[in-house]
Amino acid sequence: MSSKRIALGIDQGIANCGFAVVREGGGEEDYEVLISGTIKTLAKDGIPKRVKKIYDIITGLITEYNVELIGCEKLFFNPKQAGGRNKSASILYTNMATGLLNLCAGELEKPIFEYVPGTIKKQITGSGRATKEEVEEALYDLISTLIKFKTEHESDAVGIAITALRDPKTKQKLEELALGIVVAKPKKKKKETKTTKTRKKKGEIDNVKE
């Protein structure tokens, strides 16, 4: 792994997919945006053509810029927006984009990490409750590149890429992967149910395995 890592940040979506390739600089507030933008697709083109366009661009970016790791947003959905409008289609398309991104990572053997919005905000601003405006302002302070974000998808992608480069848990995981270390999570002790406890007291159950 090079001393200055390169990360690809993706704000996943089918209609608008933000992307950013970011390289570490010499200091904590010196990140270089190598390329960033928003992949736009049209509904009239149909899903197969739209998905292929996103796939081709993402795999091209990973290969051309020798990306070492990929970051994306871990999304949670409320089934209904304010006003009662169903978000099923939006959820479907966003999950489709997330699956597509994982396919790109798997094919090119690149580690991929998901971050909840609060983690991204904290890594960029120091506060997990920062507003979008505060995040964007902080991003301009963190990057050395002269750039003006054209869409919020693009700025989100830059924030995700920088989070992938800054997050201590990600750094630890990358070190483990480089060393071939597999960390097993300890199994949680199975809790007894009220029924099991009652039957134990009555002597109906012996040598119950946890």
| Domain containing residue 11: CATH number | 3.30.420.10
* pLDDT tens track for 68-116: 999 999 987 665 554 555 567 778 888 999 999 999 999 999 999 999 9
How many residues in total does the chain contain?
210
Q: How far apart are CA 196 and CA 205, in angstroms?
A: 8
% of the chain residues with pLDDT over 90: 69
Report the SS3 class of residue 31.
Answer: strand
Residue-number span of the structural domain to which 189 is assigned = 6-201
The verdict on residue 182 lying in a domain is: yes
List the structure tokens of 162: 């920088």
Q: How far apart are CA 121 and CA 135, in angstroms?
A: 6
Q: What is the separation of C-alpha 145 from the centre of its chain, rounded to a whole number of angstroms?
A: 23
The verdict on residue 1 lying in a domain is: no
Phi, psi of 111 (to 5 degrees): -70, 145
Quick check: 43 pLDDT over 90?
yes
The verdict on residue 107 lying in a domain is: yes
List the structure tokens of 79: 């089934």
The verdict on residue 180 lying in a domain is: yes
The verdict on residue 207 lying in a domain is: no
The verdict on residue 150 lying in a domain is: yes
Dihedral in degrees, nearest 10, Cα atoms 108, 69, 155, 56: -10
Q: Is the pTM of this model over 0.85?
A: no
Q: How far apart are CA 163 and CA 170, in angstroms?
A: 9
The verdict on residue 40 lying in a domain is: yes
Domain count along the chain: 1
The verdict on residue 62 lying in a domain is: yes
